[in-house]
Chain A
C-alpha cells in the first residue's frame, strides 16, 4: 500500500507542495530535450539523405569540439577558430562522400551503416592522435556565451535559469528552425527529399547525389559543432562526450528517423520525461534511472505509433 502511495500519490503531492522544483525540473527537461533534439537532428539529416543511420554522429560532435578548442589553443582567435572548424567539418563531409559513400552507391543500407562504424573508429583514433586524449575546457567565454544564472523567486521558492542553458535553448531552437526551413522550402531541400526517396530516381532527374551528400554531411557537421560547444560548456570536451549521442536513439525511436519536427518534439518529450521520472520516481528505484527511462518512454510510445510520432507510415503490399 505504501509503495502504491509512493508511486501514484506522493510525486503529485510533491509537485503541489514544491511547485518551484516542478518548474525547475520542467526547465531542465526542456533544456536537455532541446539539446537531445540537436543531436537527433544530425542523425535525421543523414538518414533522410542516404537512408543511413550515421553511427559516427557522436564522434563528429567530439571531433568538432576538439578542433575548435585545439585551434584556439594554438593561439588562433576564437571566432577564426570557429570558422576554421566549419572548414574542417566541410572537409570531413567532402572526404566522407568521396572516400566512404561514393564507392558504396547502390550498396545495401547495412553496408553504409557498417561504413559509418568504420568512420567512427577512424575518427576516434585519428582524433586521439591529433588532439590527444586529455580533456579540454570549452572556450565558452571567448565565444561570448553567457555565464551565471538568473535566480527567479517564484512559487514560494526559486527557479534557477542558467544563462548558458538559455543560450543553448535559443541557439538550438534557431538552428533547428533554420535547418527545417532550409530542407523544407529550398531547392536543395527538395532535392534532398528526392534523394531520400530513391537514389536512382533522383539521379535520373539530374540531381547530383555527391553534392547532396556533401551538403547533408556538412549540415550534420554544423549540428555537431553547435552540439559540441553546448555540451562541452556544460561539462568539458573529451572523447567521452560521444556517449551523449546515445541519448539521440530514444529520441529517434520516438520522433521517427526521417522527421525534423519529430526530432524536436521527441527530444523535448524524452528530455522532460526523463527529468520528471528521475526526480519524482527515481528515488524509488535507487536513482540514476535516466539512462534507461528514456528508452522506456520511447518504447511506450511505439506501442501506439510503431513508425514514431512523425515517421512516415509505409504501407507495403505483398
Chain B
C-alpha cells in the first residue's frame, strides 16, 4: 500500500512539475512563436524536415543575435500529427500565450483557423498552402500565404508544359492527368484546373488518392496507363509521393512529363525510386543544399551544438529542411517589420500582422540574410494582396539528387487573381456573417 501511495505521490509531483514547466513559455520575456509541427504519425516523413528547418533557423537567430531586434524568440512546438482536430487543439492551447503568428503547416488545420484568426487577433501564416483565396487581404486581413498560392503553382506548371509543347494551344484535344491527395489540400487547385481545361481545350482526368490508399496505388496507375495523359500533375503529400513516382516508373510513364507541386518534391519523395525515378519534375520555391551562409550559421550555432533535432547533418540542406528555413525567414522578417513600424521591441500579433503586410525581401535582402538567390524576391505582398504571387522554378530528379532545370517561372496572375477574388467572395457568402475588414492599411504596405 505504501508503495502504491509513493507511486501516486510521484505521479502527482510529476504532473505538477509538468504544469509548472509549461508556464514559462507564457511568463518568459520575449516574442512567442509557436510552431505546429508533426514529427509523428503517417505524414511525419514530410513533417520532420520542415519542422527541423523552421525550428533551427529561429534557434539560430536566438543563439547568434539574441533573437530579433533585441527580443528573444520563445519557440515552442505543438505536435499535430497532421490531424486537423489535434491542430485546432494546439491552437486553442497556445492562443492564451499571445503568439505573434501561428504556422499550421496543414491545409486542413488552416481552413479551421481562418475564422478564428480575426477574432483572436493572431495572424496565420500558411506559406504556399492553405486556402488560395486567403490571398485576398481585404477579405482575410489576418491570413497570409506567400510566396505563391496553389493556383499560382498550377498556372506555373501549365506555363512549363506550354513551353515544352510549343504553346498552350497545343494542349487542345489532349488529356492531362491530375493525381491528388483526396483531401482539402489536393482538391484546392481543381477549380483552376477545370478552368484551364475549358480555356485550352484539353480533358482533365482526375485520380484521387484516399489517405488509406497512399501506398496502394497500382489500380489507379492502371487507369493512367489506359488514359495515356500527355502530362501528369501531382498534388501529393507524405507516402503518396514516393509511391506515385514508383508506380509511374512501373507503367513506363515518361517521368519528364510527370510534375509535382512544391510539396511533392522532397528528397524523401524521390529517393525510394532512385534511378527509376530519374526525370521526375517538381516545382520548388527555395534553394537546395546547405552551402548558403545562413544554413552554415545554423550548422555552427545550432546543429553542432546539439540544439537541433536533425538525426544526421546530411539532412540539413535537404529540400524540405530549406523549405522550413524559408518559412521561418518570412516569420522573422514580419517580426522585424513589426518592430520597425511600431518602434516596440516586444511586438504583438496585431503588430506582426502589419509586419506581414509590409513584407519585402529583395534580392539584396536575401543576400544580406545569408541566403543569396535562395528564393524569388518577395516584393508584391501588400495590404490587399497577402500572397504576392511570386515565382517558383522547376527541379528534376537526376537519380540521386534534385537539380534546378528552369529559370524562375512567374504565375499567370491575370488568370489566377480574378478567380481568387471571386472565390474569396464565395467564401464570404458561405460563411456569413463574415466581418468586414476594419484594420487600416499602413503606408509601408
Q: Which residues on A are within 8 Å of B, measured CB to CB?
A: 18, 21, 24-25, 28-29, 31-32, 124, 128, 132-135, 137-138, 147, 149, 151, 160, 162, 231, 234-236, 238-244, 246-247, 274-275, 278-279, 282-283, 286-288, 290-291
B207 at the interface (CB under 8 A from A): yes
Measured between beta carbons, the chain B residues less than 8 angstroms from A235 are 214-215, 239, 242-243, 246, 272
Q: Which residues of B contact A162 (CB under 8 A)?
A: 250
- Per the bound structure, the CA–CA distance linking A286 and B274 in Å amounts to 31
Q: Given B48, B215, B222, which contacts A132 in the complex, CB threshold below 8 Å?
A: B48
Check B6 for interface membership: any CB of A closer than 8 A.
no
Supposing A137-B272, A235-B239, A286-B208 touch, asked if A28 and B222 sit within 8 A by C-beta, the answer is yes
A133-B45, A288-B182, A290-B213 given as contacts; is B223 within 8 A of A236 (CB)?
no
Point out the residues of chain B lying under 8 angstroms from A291, CB to CB: 210, 212-213
Give the shortest distance, in Å, between A269 (CB) and chain B (any CB). Answer: 15
- Given contacts A133-B48, A240-B239, whether A231 and B215 have CB atoms under 8 Å apart is yes
Q: How near does chain A come to B277, taking the closest CB pair, in angstroms?
A: 12
| A24 x B239 contact (CB < 8 A) | no
Q: Which of B44, B182, B225 contacts A133 (CB 8 A)?
A: B44
Chain A residues contacting B223 (CB-CB under 8 Å) are: 278-279, 282-283, 287
Query: Is the beta-carbon distance between B208 and A128 smaller than 8 angstroms?
Result: no
How far is A283 from B203 in the complex, measured between Cα atoms in Å? 14
Task: Give Cα A246–Cα B47 distance, bound, in whole angstroms.
Answer: 23
Confirm or deny: B219 has a beta carbon within 8 angstroms of a beta carbon on chain A: yes
Could you list 16 further interchain pairs (A-B, Cβ under 8 angstroms) beyond the known A18-B226, A235-B243? A133-B39, A133-B44, A149-B250, A160-B252, A235-B214, A236-B45, A236-B243, A238-B239, A239-B41, A240-B215, A243-B214, A278-B223, A279-B222, A282-B219, A283-B223, A288-B220
CA distance A242 to B43 in the complex (A): 12
Q: Complex Cα distance A32/B271, Å? A: 23
Q: Does B211 contact A (CB under 8 A)?
A: yes
Q: What is the bound-complex CA distance between A128 and B218, given in angstroms?
A: 28
Given contacts A133-B48, A240-B214, are A128 and B40 in contact (CB under 8 A)? yes
Query: Beta-carbon contacts of B257-300 to A below 8 Å, as 1s and 0s?
Result: 00000000000100110101000000000000000000000000
- A32 contacts B218, CB within 8 Å? yes
- In the complex formed, the residue of B with least CB distance to A237 is B272
Give the interface size class of chain B.
Answer: 35 or more
- A9 CB to nearest chain B CB (Å): 17
A-B contact pairs, 11 of them (CB 8 A): A25-B219, A128-B39, A133-B45, A137-B271, A149-B250, A160-B252, A235-B242, A239-B40, A240-B42, A246-B212, A275-B219
Q: Is B238 an interface residue (CB 8 A)?
A: yes
Taken residue by residue from 309 to 330, chain B's Cβ proximity to chain A (1 for < 8 Å, 0 otherwise) reads as: 0010000000000000000000
A166 to chain B, nearest CB (A): 13
Please tell me if the beta carbons of A238 and B222 are within 8 angstroms of each other in the complex.
Answer: no
* B252 with A238: CB separation less than 8 A: no
Complex Cα distance, B296 from A308, in Å, reads 61
| Across-interface contacts of A239 in B (CB, < 8 A) | 40-42, 44
Evaluate contact between B216 and A247: CB separation under 8 angstroms. Answer: yes
Residue pair A21, B210 in contact (C-beta under 8 Å): no
Q: Does B10 reach chain A (CB closer than 8 Å)?
A: no
CB atoms of A134 and B208 under 8 A apart: no
With contact pairs A236-B239, A278-B220 given, residues A128 and B213 touching in the complex (Cβ less than 8 Å): no
Contacts of B208 in A (CB 8 A): 286-288
User: Which residues on B sit within 8 Å (CB–CB) of A31?
Assistant: 218
Contacts of A274 in B (CB 8 A): 219
CB distance from A20 to the nearest CB of B (A): 10
B207 — which chain A residues lie within 8 A by C-beta? 287-288
Provide the bound-state CA to CA distance between A57 and B364, in Å.
55
Measured in the bound complex, the distance between the Cα atoms of B209 and A262 in whole Å is 29
- Chain A residues with Cβ under 8 A from B49's Cβ? 134
Distance in Å: Cβ of A59 to nearest Cβ of chain B? 12
Complex: A160 Cα to B238 Cα, angstroms: 27
Question: A133, A160, A234: which contacts B246 (Cβ < 8 A)?
Answer: A234
Tell whether, in the assembled complex, residue A133 and residue B47 are in contact, meaning their CB atoms are under 8 Å apart: yes
Bound Cα distance from A279 to B222, whole angstroms: 7
Q: Is the CB–CB distance between B311 and A132 below 8 Å?
A: yes
> For residue A157, which residue of chain B has the nearest CB?
B225
